[in-house]
Structure 1
Amino acid sequence: MTALLDTPVAAPPPTTPAKRSLGALWVLPPLALVLLVVLYPLVRVFWESSAEGSWGEVLGSQIFRDALWRTVAIAATSTLGCLVLGTFLAIVLAFIPFPGSAVVGRLIDTVLALPSFLITLAFTFLYGSAGAVNAALSAITGSSSPLLDFLYTPAGVITAEITFFTPFVVRPLLAAFSLIPRAQLDVAASLGGSPWLVLRTVIMPEAWPALAAGGSLVLLLTLNEFGIVLFTGAKGVITLPVLIYTRGIVTFDLPGAAVIATVQVTLSLALYCLYRLVFARLAARKEGHHAVVEPTK
């Protein structure tokens, strides 16, 4: 036994340059696929947008400025609504058990798998001019005109987007809440902390990275959302994706559509870079907080 322990273990053979270069060749097929699927369409869009006079014509038009403002306003409002509603639902599901909470969690997971236009169709059947809610209100009041007429306005688009994208906030928060030790919450409660104080000082500081990740994802998705706006049929709600569709498909103005698409891509990339910066700072602050707490233990 001692002889076996004293026997030196042979070091693994060094990797030769030929094997290293052969292994690097496996990177080429996925890299070529990414270049073909992602980079080539972007280059074509940028090239189409370089037509003479396209940028000045599009950026100087009032419809583009209105669509840009409406896109940002709808995306920001929908994201704020998703953050508020998603945080509330995640806290209830994680810390306030009730009969049927598991079923509610499964329903939230189901919404993640559905296409966005199904939510719009459901809203049409419920809140449309001939929907179930207006039919019930008309039967009660005797009015022939629809009493609830918000679906074809920006408020209807925002409500549909909040309904569809809230699970993208709930899921990361539930994952973050599951990592909080139960003993930490019990100690905070035993020291006399109210539920609101425990939520503000113990739970939410651990959930900020997940909340930032979910909110950033929702902001990017709502900024580029097309199906909900199109299937809602709101004629006055023209966003950048709808304007790209109108210019490129309806009027066949490909240079103009490419300019708007370039603006859309630039805006999305800017938001992504901002998200990465904010997330890195939150992660660094959290690591610094843990580094300060550990020596005191």
Structure 2
Amino acid sequence: MKLASLKNETRDGVLVVVSRDLTHAVAVDDIAPTLQAAIERWSEVEPLLQARSVALNAGELPEAFVFDETKAASPLPRAYQWLDGSAYLSHVELVRKARGVEMQKSFLEEPLMYQGASDYFTGPHDPVLVADEDWGVDLEAEIAIITDDVPMLTSPTDAKSHIKLLMLVNDISLRHIIPAELSKGFGFLNGKGVTAFSPIALTPDELGDAWDGSKVSLPLTVHINGEKLGDPLAGVDVYFEFPRLISHAAATRTLGAGTVIGSGTVSNHDRSRGFCCISEKRALEVVEHGQPKTPFFHFGDRVRVEMFDADGESIFGAIDNEIKKFSN
């Protein structure tokens, strides 16, 4: 089942079910007006939504309309909680190597994770607004999950059952702001810009064999201004899989329904697959040539994040954001 939130006059949009090929949709506000409302009653509403999805894909709903993903908000236009991990330690290792710093052994013992701003998510086809391109504007292409209510002290084994939906992520990082913030020892705030998610949030069964209950085994493709930055394999080099990330987040508290957890930048030790962030490419340039050559984003640049199935069809729709100057 594929779900989206179409923009309307409200902050949370209206929930629709989208056909598997992303061509048509049908409103389901009679079942749940928003995705947040659905996820809070998931055991009750999922069968109803699934039935509507089956009928839509069978062409049995005359009220279906053409789906335009450019009119979609992020599936959860805002969320009670957004947690971003760092599941791919090849990313951490390379970036630190470029700075001449070894990766701490503690990074192998428990996930890195921060709590980001979630009061407003950028739409998948909306501009990323930045006040100053000298902030070092970068993307981080990731996969994310949405959970139902997760009890405190949930084990990784039990955490699998709490993964209800998956999305793609473009997590904007302001690389020239981050170092000074982290040096204070209190985590990210201004160094993390806006976050955008794919038009589609889907149930794990839509991924077929590419989903094993813990990770997605497909390439994640990133283009900048039409040129491929990379397509790393999301199922390779995952040191902390999603159930482990959920368990870590729930170590001292419950997670409310609608919690969004990101994988962190998808990254492979095999650098021939390219990159899901500019910073990692720059780090490799430093290691190999002594200095970075690739610039961070300029105003007017465009980033596209997408995942394709074995037939080359887009699974989640595209995140396609232009970097634009903010003015008030």
TM category, shorter: under 0.3
The one of the two structures with greater contact order (alpha-carbon pairs below 8 A, sep at least 6) is: 1
Please give the TM-score of this superposition, normalised by the length of structure 2. 0.20
Please give the TM-score of this superposition, normalised by the length of structure 1. 0.22
Determine which structure has the larger helix proportion and give its number.
1
